[in-house]
Amino acid sequence: MMNLCYMDYVIIGDGVAGASAAERIRNEDSEASVKLFTDESQALYNRIMLKTFMKGTLPAQYTQMHDADWYEKRDIDLYLETRVEEVKEEYNTVISEYGEEYSYEKLLVATGGSPREYPLDEDFENLHYMWTMKDAEEIKESAENSQKAAVIGGGLLGIDLAAAYAENNCETYYLIRGDRWWHRGISKKGAEIIHRKLEEKGVNVITEVEASSFEGEERIEKVVTDSGEEFGVDAVAVAIGQTPNSDIADVEKNEASMIKVDENLQTSDEDIYAAGNMVDYYSPVLEERTVKGSWDHSEAMGEYAADNMLGKDRPFNFINTYGVGHFDVQFLAIGDWTGEPVEKKYSEDEYRRLFFKNDRLVGAVMIGFTKGQEKIKDLIQDKQKIKDKEALLEKSYWS
């Protein structure tokens, strides 16, 4: 326990980044005042588990991680349904949506992002975007009550929506703009496995197709594609990326409006830190600026940011992982998915792609054959020069 003089900490966002920061501050400083604001109606829940909840195989209460007691016991002031509207950097205060003002000595912005939406002139009641428990409840209900649905977006979140509709016995058309699912991370060889696994679950995977318009009044009845194909639907769910919730703080941002921080997660304002999804930071491991979005990464970022707010010097050198658990084969992505790839397909269900920058391993994507996760992280952390990249694709290397 550190011996500090009384400090005021304010955290915006009770996602995993904000909640883990609050916990770390309290563990290290028993005297501090810690205020945690969320615009949601419930305290921290596990967003990853929402995919299982939407499929109908996990009751909602199992997604809850912290209840009111958890905050009370730790003397953390939780403000539910309280959106922070503004940060007044010059006065070190934040203003809530109710006009109340709270002062801070150190502030953490852990506000994540919101689903990117289509710029449409009308609101369709059966058009869904996914991020919160409220979204998940709506999608679950929609999946249970729909005969046919279209899911749009070939990324990590789109696959969860496709699985949710299909597992509720809804005829599901999964529309992917490119020639494969998650083109950022895997080649056609790897995507073939995922497409087959989706088809086995009853998902119709349709690639190289762009939804160009929605037809219907109040409800979408048809999705029309750029090639003129039409899909009659009862519901449409869309996952085409996120936009950062970064407007509230007047600190330096990148061209995509993500808050920029240094390796200690400090923004251009020395009293303001940022952590979690949609934060552009300098990674001492990758030796470049990067943005990552995963549960473990946001959790670690919250903890590191808290340490730095407490006055420690703790550069953020964490390696992220992201798993997809819908199938009988495991999918796991680690680290950075840009750079020079080498890859191998070992069997119908086993595939591995490794990414290198300047002869260093920076990331991996694995399907089926997921052995050696810790070794991969060590290699990335150690920054070893790898002469024979292909050797790392041999199974014997990881045994």
Ligand X SMILES: Cc1cc2nc3c(=O)[nH]c(=O)nc-3n(C[C@H](O)[C@H](O)[C@H](O)COP(=O)(O)OP(=O)(O)OC[C@H]3O[C@@H](n4cnc5c(N)ncnc54)[C@H](O)[C@@H]3O)c2cc1C
The crossing angle, in degrees rounded to 10, of helices 133-145 and 158-167 is: 40
- Of the pair 127, 157, the CB lying nearest ligand X is at 157
* Stretch of 32-40, 174-182, 356-364, 369-377 lying at the interface with ligand X (CB under 6 A): 32-40
- Of the pair 131, 356, the CB lying nearest ligand X is at 131
* Stretch of 2-10, 106-114, 145-153, 380-388 lying at the interface with ligand X (CB under 6 A): 106-114
- Give the separation between CA 75 and CA 33, rounded to whole angstroms: 8
Residue 38 interacting with ligand X (CB under 6 A):
yes
DSSP 101-163: EEE-SEEEE---EEE-----SS--TTEEE-SSHHHHHHHHHHHHH-SEEEEE--STTHHHHHH
Cβ neighbours of residue 309 under 8 Å, at least 6 residues apart? 9, 21, 25, 106, 108, 273
Question: Of these, 160, 167, 234, 303, which contacts ligand X (CB under 6 A)?
Answer: 160
**Which contiguous run of DSSP H or E holds residue 377?**
helix 373-382
Question: Of these, 47, 106, 260, 326, which contacts ligand X (CB under 6 A)?
Answer: 47
Interacting positions 240-259 with ligand X (CB under 6 A):
245, 248
- Give the separation between CA 18 and CA 71, rounded to whole angstroms: 12
Closest distance between ligand X and the C-beta of residue 137, in Å? Answer: 12
Instruction: Number of residues interacting with ligand X: please give it, by CB under 6 A.
Output: 35
- Of the pair 18, 185, the CB lying nearest ligand X is at 18
Q: What is the DSSP letter of 322?
A: E
- Give the separation between CA 346 and CA 369, rounded to whole angstroms: 8
Residue 130 interacting with ligand X (CB under 6 A):
yes
The crossing angle, in degrees rounded to 10, of helices 158-167 and 188-200 is: 20
Residue 112 interacting with ligand X (CB under 6 A):
yes
Cβ neighbours of residue 376 under 8 Å, at least 6 residues apart? 334, 335, 361, 364
Question: Of these, 181, 182, 322, 327, which contacts ligand X (CB under 6 A)?
Answer: 322
CB 193 within 8 A of CB 367: yes
Question: Of these, 13, 158, 185, 363, which contacts ligand X (CB under 6 A)?
Answer: 13
Interacting positions 67-86 with ligand X (CB under 6 A):
83-84
Residue 288 CB neighbours (<10 A): 12
* Stretch of 58-66, 108-116, 184-192, 218-226 lying at the interface with ligand X (CB under 6 A): 108-116
Closest distance between ligand X and the C-beta of residue 46, in Å? Answer: 8
Residue 303 interacting with ligand X (CB under 6 A):
no
- Of the pair 51, 140, the CB lying nearest ligand X is at 51
Residue 39 interacting with ligand X (CB under 6 A):
yes
* Stretch of 289-297, 326-334, 368-376, 381-389 lying at the interface with ligand X (CB under 6 A): 289-297
Residue 42 interacting with ligand X (CB under 6 A):
no
HSE (CB half, 13 Å, CA atoms) of 269?
22
CB 151 within 8 A of CB 162: yes
Question: Of these, 56, 323, 339, 341, which contacts ligand X (CB under 6 A)?
Answer: 323
Residue 22 interacting with ligand X (CB under 6 A):
no
- Give the separation between CA 242 and CA 298, rounded to whole angstroms: 15
- Of the pair 209, 265, the CB lying nearest ligand X is at 265
* Stretch of 34-42, 61-69, 186-194, 217-225 lying at the interface with ligand X (CB under 6 A): 34-42
Question: Of these, 293, 315, 339, 341, which contacts ligand X (CB under 6 A)?
Answer: 293
Report CA-CA distances (Å) from 399 to 3, 41, 321, 351, 352. 47, 47, 21, 16, 15
Output the six-digit token pair for 58: 């996990």
By CB under 6 A, name the binding residues for ligand X.
Answer: 12-18, 37-40, 47-48, 50-51, 83-84, 110-112, 130-131, 157, 160, 245, 248, 276-277, 293-296, 298, 322-323
